[in-house]
Amino acid sequence: MNGLFACPADSRGPLPHICRVGAGLWLLLLSACATLTGEPSAIIVARGITVVPLADGNTRIDIATDVAFDFGSDVLRPAFSAQLAQVVKPYLQHAVRVACYTDNVGAPAFNLDLSQRRAGAVAELLRVQGFSTAQMAVSGYGEDNPVASNASETGRRQNRRIELLITAKVP
């Protein structure tokens, strides 16, 4: 068990694996579970949503923006709510930092505003799903902090992202 998923004893073997997500819920993982040596690895939990256990004990949930929003929009897609609820359920007693980013297409001021509105929409969804506002820090960074080159569509797609950093339990 790596905190979120119960993985089979032979999780170092070839993929895919079927892992238990929670009470009666199972998930086919196309990515690796944590190894038996305790080394964390990214876990793809749905198309565009990846859970990344970090070496410092925190967890980062990476979400491709197109899973949650239409291009240029700050209105959440209806299916995203259920997807996110399953992923964040184990962390309802933790602090969470919501960070949204865009690519560099369009005016920087528009991208910053869009990322801030998207971060607010995700935070509101998390509040509805059980997080208190005191547990959350919310930021939109626009096109700052790219994780890939904006020179290609693939890179721009990677830069349009939502990151949820799950930290310590809130007392």
CA-based Rg of the chain, rounded to a whole angstrom?
Answer: 16
**Does 137 share its domain with 100?**
yes
Task: Give the number of domains in the chain.
Answer: 2
**Does 115 share its domain with 70?**
yes
Which CATH number belongs to the domain containing residue 96 in this structure? 3.30.1330.60
pLDDT at 117: 98
With H, G, I as helix, E, B as strand and everything else as coil, classify residue 26. Answer: strand
List per-residue pLDDT tens for the chain, 171 residues long: 344 444 444 343 333 444 544 444 444 444 444 444 454 688 988 889 999 999 999 999 999 999 999 999 999 999 999 999 999 999 999 999 999 999 999 999 999 999 999 999 999 999 999 999 999 999 999 999 999 999 999 999 999 999 999 998 876
pTM of the complete model:
0.76
pLDDT at 7: 47
59 close to 43: Cβ distance less than 8 angstroms: no
pLDDT at 170: 73
Q: How far is CA 103 from CA 43, 53, 83, in A?
A: 24, 25, 24
Kindly tell me the burial class for residue 116, based on how many C-beta atoms sit within 10 Å of its own C-beta (0-12, 13-18, 19 or more). middle
**Does 31 share its domain with 77?**
no
> What single-letter DSSP state applies at residue 145?
S
**Does 95 share its domain with 163?**
yes
